[in-house]
Structure 1
């Protein structure tokens, strides 16, 4: 049964998220040819400047879907073998037996067993993702640090493995996607960011999507506020930040309209071929950074939805910014939502995030957006 868009309900759901404590958020929902865009709250808590639905935003790990699509394009061209060992291409970055055992596919679906580099680049996140003893200090220390991806990769590769290559459940690790960025550069002769821009972003006709050239977000955008589980009070603005700490894993800037356009074209077979899309939708169990086991494909995963329909997409967070994009399997219904506050939940003594009214309000917004 088709549930047409209800602007009044969608606007009310947005306002409820803002009322629950989110400074600002904006979204676009599509159903066939129908399009709704909305925004609620402020882009700057100091001035009261309102958010608008066309703002550019740091979309975090949604970048991984773009990077995975770029890799699949190179698989289609024959330059990369999906089940070839990464050591064939990057022997210096993943040497020896691990380089022989870890395949390109294992990097894309997080079953490589390579550890997350973040706790080593950001020492105050040493307990990540077990957060009880972590602090936000190094977020400020590294605001303008220019990281070398090879050094970040070395941190992940030399850290204790989190699993055997190809073993499941896999463990979500940004180290995998930094390696994929280096792989793209190796086979194309240009940086991953330039290749993805030319062959994914421009192919999809995304006018407001791109990788940052410096710590700033160009164009209309919101300030983004990090609470770090109540340890930063009031939440601090991290909209100016050098994103070399994530590169082709999570540095992309986009809009909710561009994200919906990208995922619609991806599922229509217009970014990669339909056989490649089928590979992207073949999932394995993976433990997320929040400690939950999810089904994960090649830069794409089914999103939990309160109903019988299957939605595909990806979420993303960076310091202060969060985004979720999803599309129904038939390509008809879509939702992209951006928020300008992260880690609003406080932690209990065991390090577990406690419920917050924002959680329920966001769940309601997602339900209204997906089902009316």
Structure 2
């Protein structure tokens, strides 16, 4: 094990190297801090990170738990394995954004740092996000080269234990690339396969949105119907008269989430039906956060309530309705909301990295997850089934073309500029679809409607799908522009 002294030398050397790049040039305090932080992030040294936080973070930042700060430094290092300084994107006296490049993936990131205006310019904010104007990748010559380069990149991530899961990239419904990496079960060293079922997280919200749209097409309900029409005994009777189906679909209802202390204190083994889950709503949603339609706030509760609306309007259980009207016509033979204490074949176990001073420890998500998913999330599917879902939507097999457009476009009239009806909205030619994330869950379906591309990534590592779909889309963008 390296000594503390050698670790300090490494960190000091990295910080010095970063600083020397701009030698002789005047730089703001924020840029200087960004370089220092990039050096700490590159080192992966938690002791150095702890000292840096204690000595250089402002009082407001120090009110947060130290473990939160160390978690940020550890996660970024684990996902990047080091950062190359590229260029200053934006510089102000007390704020700077530095474009950096991941050593592991080659992806560019924007490292944002804010500082106090007065010396010693302590750090008041820090973040890492995809940049708005990253340098373009070299364009693949064709789809075969695209697949080869993506495969090499994902294999590198998997070899670093930064990704475990499946990937499927399609053009006009035909697979251009498929790959399976890592393990579905670490206890028994079971490898992931292309047909391994992964937890969808919030991606189930798409199925809930489609189910509502189908019932609208059948005349069973309207987007403008009040919630009180379907759930007259909703805990907040007055709010239920104002909240419409449209508000619930767009996360503008004012309802929040049910992940409260009461939820975590309950036995989640008893949450198996929509009515079981609605008991959480009845306990927690006696008030709304704002006037329905006045602003946007992501709401798991709103989507759960829509599950009950579907049951009332259709006369079926939510689970039966989705199986018969979405999974079956789309040919999604490996998708369902499984009860996790039953025998379920080929399900990936979710894993989360825990960063400690002793190193990385893995934990599974069995006891942090619900026993069964529902309208708001937590079901299971495969990358091939999600491609079938994508094709069924584009071909009009599930809803009409006009309804599909309605599902995937912004709803500014209710202050939802980036979210449609259960789908992320198409904005500035970008993709539609949904993501899902939780401990041990990281999945994405990204449908590029104009170009015909579909990007699907499913992972049983928390927070690990992003670099994969970003790599795929950066390569696609470069190839489409050449």
Question: For residue 57 of structure 2, what is the aligned residue in structure 1?
Answer: none
Displacement of 1:40 in angstroms is 2.1
Whole-angstrom distance in 2 between the partners of 1:217 and 1:163: 43
1:13–1:365 contact (8 Å) kept in structure 2: no
1:27–1:336 contact (8 Å) kept in structure 2: yes
Match among 14, 18, 21 for residue 154 of structure 2: 14
Displacement of 1:150 in angstroms is 2.0
Displacement of 1:172 in angstroms is 0.5
**Is the alpha carbon distance of 1:208 and 1:245 closer, same or farther for their aligned partners in structure 2, counting shifts above 3 Å?**
closer
Structure 1 unaligned blocks of 5 or more: 124-137, 286-292, 345-357
Deviations 1:183-240 (A, max 9, x none): 1111112111110110111111111111214435722232210347779962212258
Displacement of 1:369 in angstroms is 5.9
Secondary structure, aligned partner of 1:296? coil
Question: For residue 303 of structure 2, what is the aligned residue in structure 1?
Answer: 177
1:13–1:368 contact (8 Å) kept in structure 2: no
**Is the alpha carbon distance of 1:163 and 1:204 closer, same or farther for their aligned partners in structure 2, counting shifts above 3 Å?**
same
**Is the alpha carbon distance of 1:233 and 1:246 closer, same or farther for their aligned partners in structure 2, counting shifts above 3 Å?**
farther
Secondary structure, aligned partner of 2:155? helix
1:20–1:361 contact (8 Å) kept in structure 2: no
Whole-angstrom distance in 2 between the partners of 1:177 and 1:7: 36
When structure 1 is superposed on structure 2, of 34-43 and 196-205 the one drifting more is 34-43
Deviations 1:40-86 (A, max 9, x none): 22233344432222211111111110111011111111111111111
Match among 54, 57, 62 for residue 198 of structure 2: 57
Q: Establish whether residue 66 from structure 1 lines up as the match of residue 207 from structure 2.
A: yes
Secondary structure, aligned partner of 2:285? helix
Question: For residue 234 of structure 2, what is the aligned residue in structure 1?
Answer: 93
Normalised to the residue count of structure 2, the TM-score between the two structures is: 0.62
Match among 347, 360, 363 for residue 470 of structure 2: 363
Displacement of 1:336 in angstroms is 0.8
Secondary structure, aligned partner of 1:80? coil
Secondary structure, aligned partner of 1:30? strand
**Is the alpha carbon distance of 1:324 and 1:336 closer, same or farther for their aligned partners in structure 2, counting shifts above 3 Å?**
same
2:446–2:456 contact (8 Å) kept in structure 1: yes
Question: For residue 108 of structure 1, what is the aligned residue in structure 2?
Answer: 249
Whole-angstrom distance in 2 between the partners of 1:21 and 1:99: 47
CA RMSD of aligned residues (A): 3.1
**Is the alpha carbon distance of 1:343 and 1:205 closer, same or farther for their aligned partners in structure 2, counting shifts above 3 Å?**
closer
1:298-313 to 2 correspondences below 5 Å:
298-302=421-425, 309-313=429-433
Whole-angstrom distance in 2 between the partners of 1:331 and 1:197: 30
**Is the alpha carbon distance of 1:294 and 1:117 closer, same or farther for their aligned partners in structure 2, counting shifts above 3 Å?**
farther
1:112–1:166 contact (8 Å) kept in structure 2: yes
Whole-angstrom distance in 2 between the partners of 1:277 and 1:42: 36
Whole-angstrom distance in 2 between the partners of 1:53 and 1:179: 33
1:256–1:336 contact (8 Å) kept in structure 2: yes
Displacement of 1:31 in angstroms is 1.4
Match among 24, 32, 36 for residue 164 of structure 2: 24
Give aligned pairs, total.
Answer: 332
1:23-42 to 2 correspondences below 5 Å:
24-32=164-172, 33-42=174-183
1:1-372 to 2 correspondences below 5 Å:
4-5=143-144, 6-22=146-162, 24-32=164-172, 33-123=174-264, 142=267, 144-146=269-271, 148-158=276-286, 160-168=287-295, 170-216=296-342, 218-227=344-353, 234-238=361-365, 243=370, 246-284=373-411, 295-302=418-425, 309-330=429-450, 332-343=452-463, 360=467, 363-368=470-475
Normalised to the residue count of structure 1, the TM-score between the two structures is: 0.79
When structure 1 is superposed on structure 2, of 60-69 and 34-43 the one drifting more is 34-43
Quick check: which has more Rg, 1 or 2? 2
**Is the alpha carbon distance of 1:92 and 1:331 closer, same or farther for their aligned partners in structure 2, counting shifts above 3 Å?**
farther
Displacement of 1:262 in angstroms is 0.3
Q: Which has the higher relative contact order, 1 or 2, with Cα contacts under 8 A spaced 6 or more apart?
A: 1
Whole-angstrom distance in 1 between the partners of 2:343 and 2:438: 13
Deviations 1:123-182 (A, max 9, x none): 5xxxxxxxxxxxxxx6xx756353622211124422x533210112x1011101111110
Secondary structure, aligned partner of 1:275? helix
1:227–1:343 contact (8 Å) kept in structure 2: no
Whole-angstrom distance in 1 between the partners of 2:448 and 2:343: 30
Structure 2 unaligned blocks of 5 or more: 1-138
1:25–1:51 contact (8 Å) kept in structure 2: yes
